[in-house]
Amino acid sequence: MAINKTAYHSIKKELDLQEVLLVAVSKTKPVEDILELYNLGHRDFGENYVQELLEKAKQLPNDIRWHFIGHLQTNKVKLIVSFVQLIHGVDSLKLLKEINKEAGKSGRIVDCLLQVHIAQEETKFGFDEKELNDVQMSGYANVQIKGLMGMASFTDDMDKVRTEFRNLKNLFDKQAQLQTSNFKPQILSVGMSSDYKIAIEEGSNMVRIGSLLFGTRG
């Protein structure tokens, strides 16, 4: 399997113009594919399983910025906290506390995004608005909350997706006004292969794209 270089160049150009950061989601794809994209100058990659991330990270150049985009279990935090660039899916206070603790042990301040529950489905993880306000008030010295992350409902109804993204952007703007020392929302991580254009129209400034670059996953 090879990467789609044409798609990469055109998406990258489109995103650069709009000052949106591209996280290339390389989950399930081999290190050779990641290297191909790396050799085109790309550095931000997203993975969603801890073991897979560790395996890949040790085989690949260490100037790659690894984004953890999946559901992170608290007992795995210590495995990635020393090197991860940004943890996108912080979906509970318990997880945030664990990251804070382990970050402290490794002498780092770890950048995180709080995952917000925007989809109507019950299965998605994340905070609601009230919980976000509580998190904001709680100061954790070793985490820096850089913004919010969300995933739309799994649906073909793009109007519904757009509405969910819009609601998240409104929430993001509200949160951004209430900055505290470790809560400074600047990043809004929304949008994947199927909906990134809508996400950007609705204010996203970081998209996580996998299959358009690496091909569909088996």
Ligand X SMILES: *Cc1c(COP(=O)(O)O)cnc(C)c1O
For the bound state, the minimum distance from the C-beta of residue 125 to ligand X, rounded and expressed in Å, comes to 10
Q: Which is nearer to ligand X, 104 or 215 (CB)?
A: 215
| Cβ nearer to ligand X, comparing 121 with 134 | 121
3-class secondary-structure state, position 203: coil
Q: Which is nearer to ligand X, 52 or 131 (CB)?
A: 52
Interacting residue ranges for ligand X, rule: CB under 6 A: 25, 27, 48, 69-70, 192-194, 208-211
Q: Which residues of 28-40 are buried (b: 16+ CB within 10 A; e: fewer)?
A: ebeeebbebbbee
Looking at the Cβ atoms of 25 and 118, the one nearer to ligand X is 25
Query: Three-state SS for 64?
Result: coil
DSSP state of 196: H
Q: What are phi and psi of 94, to 5 degrees?
A: -60, -45
Shortest Cβ 141–ligand X spacing (Å): 27
Distances (CA, A) of 199 to 11, 28, 94, 203: 14, 24, 29, 6
- Kindly state the smallest distance separating residue 177's Cβ from ligand X, in Å: 27
Smallest distance from the beta carbon of 67 to ligand X, in angstroms? 9
